[in-house]
Amino acid sequence: MHELIDHPCVQHKLAIIRDVETGHKRFRELAKEITKFVCYEALKNIKVKEVKVQTPIAEATCKKIDTDLVVVPVLRAGIGMLEGILELVPTARVGFVGMYRDEVTKEPVSYYERLPTQVKGGTCILIDPMLATGGSTAAAIKALKGAGAGQIVVVCIVTCPEGLELVEQEHPDVTIYAAAIDKCLDERKYIVPGLGDAGDRLFGTTH
């Protein structure tokens, strides 16, 4: 299952982050801002508990988040989304999955994994700006499931039909939230029109 966040405020920022003229400072700011909007939607179904709060006037029945959330950025580019989601849920725990795409095969190569124990049975939000072939996201989900994750939600900025299909086929229990579902992949497996190499644009590097 996937959901496109087609809100004008998100789409406006997306137009700027896609622009080849947008430098890494602004790119970072926009990645954080877009993440916050997309995560706001992605977290709409998380568990809440009823609490009583004494206001200056009377007792109010309120709701508070009732789940130990674990946010998992896929290194490197997922780091660019971390601040955005932590502004929404500052008490979330953070785990890391390191993954890069092999330049030739385009298959994900796992190089790091550090997950808090709360992943076991917990709700995990996997963040990575690009879901292209879907290989990296599918492998990261597998790692989270291997660690005993309960519910898994994926938040990305740009994806495409090919990547969605792969992840949904391998992990039909996971919901994916995206700010854009682009047309296709090119021969180098980059999303078209996409926004280029998210890691390089976030960190001001070239490869």
Active site residues: 101, 105, 197, 200
Distances from the Cα of 169 to the Cαs of 135, 163, 165, 175, 206, in angstroms? 12, 10, 6, 12, 33
Output the smallest distance, CB 160 to ligand URA, in A. 8
What DSSP assignment string belongs to 132-161? SSSHHHHHHHHHHHHTTBSSEEEE-SEE-H
Is residue 194 a contact residue for ligand PRP (CB under 6 A)? no
Q: Which is nearer to ligand PRP, 10 or 185 (CB)?
A: 185
**What residues numbered 158-177 form the site for ligand PRP, per CB under 6 A?**
163
User: What is the nearest approach in angstroms of ligand PRP to the Cβ of residue 195?
Assistant: 11
| Contact partner, 179, from ligand PRP, ligand URA, none, Cβ < 5-8 Å per class | none
Output the smallest distance, CB 176 to ligand URA, in A: 15
The answer to whether residue 198 forms part of the interface with ligand URA (CB under 6 A) is yes
Segment interacting with ligand PRP (CB under 6 A) among 11-19, 56-64, 72-80, 176-184: 72-80
Separation CA 109–CA 100 (nearest Å): 5
Q: d(Cα 107, Cα 70) in Å, to the nearest integer?
A: 26
Take residue 15 and report the two structure tokens written for it.
């137009």
- Please say whether the beta carbons of 121 and 148 come within 8 A: yes
Chosen residue from 84, 95, 135, 194 binding ligand PRP by CB under 6 A: 135
The three-class DSSP label of residue 28 is helix
Asked if 35 touches ligand PRP (CB under 6 A), the answer is no
Closer residue to ligand PRP in complex, CB, 150/196: 196
> Counting beta carbons within 10 angstroms of the beta carbon of residue 97, is it exposed (0 to 12), middle (13 to 18) or buried (19 or more)?
buried
Residue 198 in the binding site for ligand PRP (CB under 6 A): yes
* Burial label, 43 (beta-carbon count in 10 A; 0-12, 13-18, 19+): buried
Q: Which residues bind ligand PRP (CB under 6 A)?
A: 74, 76-77, 99-101, 106, 108, 128-137, 163, 189, 197-199
Residues lying near ligand URA in the complex (CB under 6 A) are found at: 130, 132, 190-191, 194, 197-199
